[in-house]
Each structure stands twice: as C-alpha cells, then as structure tokens.
Amino acid sequence: MSPRRRRVRRPLPPTPLCASTPPPSTPSVDIPKSEAPGHRPPPARRRLPLVADAAAEAEGEWNPLPLSSADLSLPLTLPTGQTFLWRRTSVSPLRFTAAVGPHLVSLSRLPDGRVAFLLHNESPTSSVPDAHAALCDYLNAAVPLAELWRQFAAADARFAEVAVGLGGGGARVLRQDPVECVFQFLCSSNNNIARIEKMVWKLAGYGERLGEVGGFVFHQFPTIDRLARVSEQELREAGFGYRAKYVVGTARELQVKPGGGEKWLASMRTRELPEVIEALCTLPGVGPKVAACVALFSLDQNHAVPVDTHVWKVATQYLMPELAGKSITTKLSVAVADAFVTKFGSYAGWAQNVLFIGQLSAQKLMVSEDSNGTTKSSKRKHRGNNVDT
C-alpha cells in the first residue's frame, strides 16, 4: 500500500479551446467569462507555408491549431522529459515530428504565432480532421495555459521568476496515450536521455510503419499484445538491461486486466490519485515516481507531482527548507507533492512541470521559437543528463 495522498476535488472541466475533441475529465480553473476561450470548429484545409519558398509550399498543407505562442512552446513541451518520441526534423523553422496514434504529423509555428501541423500519411485511416482532433487531445488544448501561469505566478514568486526565464509561457502538460506513456517511463528508470530515447524508439519500432520524415522512420506505437510477444532476451540484446523484464512483464500483466490493458489504464482517468498510484504500482517496474509521471502525463491527474532530484531541490529551497539535507523517501515525496498542491491547487502538476524544466539541464543548447517561426538559441549550464525516476 502506498502512503495516503491528498485528495483533490474534481470540478467541471474548463471551456475547450478545441471544439473538435471533448475536453479531458480534469479539474477546472476559474476564469472570468470575458477571458474564457471560445469554441472553434476544425479549420478548413488551406495552404499555410511556414517559409516563402516553393519547396516548403510543395511539401503539403499546414493546418493551424488553436494554440498561440503563450499556449504552446514546442521546445519547452516536446523534448523536456514528458515523452521521448518526438524528433526535431527541421531547425529553421523549428519543426518536430512524431506519430500521434495512427497520424504521422509535424508541428511548427506560423508567422501569426499559432502552431500548425502537417499530416504526412493521409489515408482512409488518417485524415486531417481526425489528426486535428487527436492533436488537440494530445496537446491538452482544453486547458487555458496562459491563465494557469498567471495564477501560479501570483501564488509563488519562484514560479514567476522561472516563468520569465522560460519566455513567459508555453510549457504544456501532454495528454498521452496511457499505454505509450507507461512503456516510455518503464525505460526511464535510472537512465539518461540518450538511452531512454534509444529504448523507446526500439519499442515504437514494433508498431506499424507510418513513414519517413527528415531521415527518421516513424511507427505507430505498438499494442500491448504486440509488446507481449517481444522476448526479454531480444530487449536485453538491444541494451535495455534489467528494464527488459519490466517491459515484457508489464505487457503480459496488462493483457490479463479485466477488459484488457487499454481499458484498464483508461479507467484511471476517472479515479482518485491515490488509487491510481496504488494500481499502477502493481505493474512490474513501476514505482511511485513512474506512477506519478504516468498519472500526470496521460491519466488526467493534473495535481500529480513526480518528485525527482530536480523537484526535490526546488521543494527544499523554496517550499520545505526543513527537508534540506535529507534523502528522498516515499513518505517525504508524498509530503513534497502535498506541499505543491497546497501552493498551486488542482493543477499543481503543471506548475511542478514548469519548475522542473527550470532546473532541467539535459541539453547544453536550448532552442526557442520566435514569433516568425525561426529559431534563436541560448546556452544553459550543463549539469548532466541523468533522469532520476
């Protein structure tokens, strides 16, 4: 049994920014009606080139998403430890590519500041409207990020300071497919970014091939049944080490869940966080930290706070100085998570994610976007690549 966690009441969800997909069952933020975002229908298909040259126009049609630069920063969201499947397929303009379900998409920014996507594999099973809806869900577009950041900054001076350093906004929490999220974080335990990405890319390769972009071959993430057919020896030979038995064991454990593993994981979106953490910790290789990551990044548990060394440092310096010098334990991790909820409320996990990024030093070079879709870089001190989970 895991330690008791603070229960957070779930009010009604906020007004969605993306009308083509239902909002997740998440706690809401009180926003003045005059500031609440309105519904938008799926955009009409039209050519929106990111750069004014014939090659860019010939590659396909760019479709806008209802997310401004304050709503979504690609470099603060996609390569910062929530997922390990996106690849940077262009530097100027900055562009990331991945499979979102059956849709192979690239994301970049339009000159007007909105994020747009390019669908690379349009087919009977992957259309622009379906990809639009899938991306709105994946990017948690229903959550009004700018308003959240204003509330967090008002509640905490440290957050306000970090927010300014990160450009004032755009670091979203994703709403990933739970199966995909579980297996990604099984690979993250006591590992570094480069090895995690290699392992996750290996797992993805067992899924259906969707296409090639920028020299990378992308696959739809495999089903639980497909992963259960992978041998532990095969994964060990691929460099998974002891994590190989956890991947195979979790796949087989999920296969026998009532209704199937996909349904069992999806049901966690409507449960209370302590129950979710306890249930996830029954899977091989899943401890409280990995469970909290999966809960936050895929199961609508927006107040889940994964406590690693980066978050511990923030907590002991700014929230709970009495813990300075102590080692991270399960009990103290729960206390830290509760302190975040007390400070930031029902979206504490989103605030923690920003503070985590403020501490993150996995990249020597942080690439950020400007309003024209070009890039600018700023050097950040390198302190190592390890991800403690």
Q: CB–CB of 159/151 below 8 Å? A: no
Distance CA 171, CA 175 (A): 13
Coil vs helix vs strand at 60: coil
Q: By the 8 A CB rule, do 111 and 227 touch?
A: no
Kindly give the interhelix angle for 273-280 and 288-298, rounded to the nearest 10 degrees.
120
Rounded to whole angstroms, the Cα distance separating 18 from 57 reads 26
Distance CA 125, CA 42 (A): 18
Q: Are 64 and 116 in contact (CB under 8 A)?
A: yes
- Neighbour-count burial of 196, counting CB atoms closer than 10 A to its CB (0-12 exposed, 13-18 middle, 19+ buried): buried
Distance CA 312, CA 328 (A): 8
One of 33, 289, 313, 326 is an active-site residue; which one?
Answer: 289
Say if CB 387 and CB 196 are below 8 A apart: yes
Task: Clarify whether 289 is annotated catalytic.
Answer: yes
Supply the residues annotated as catalytic: 289
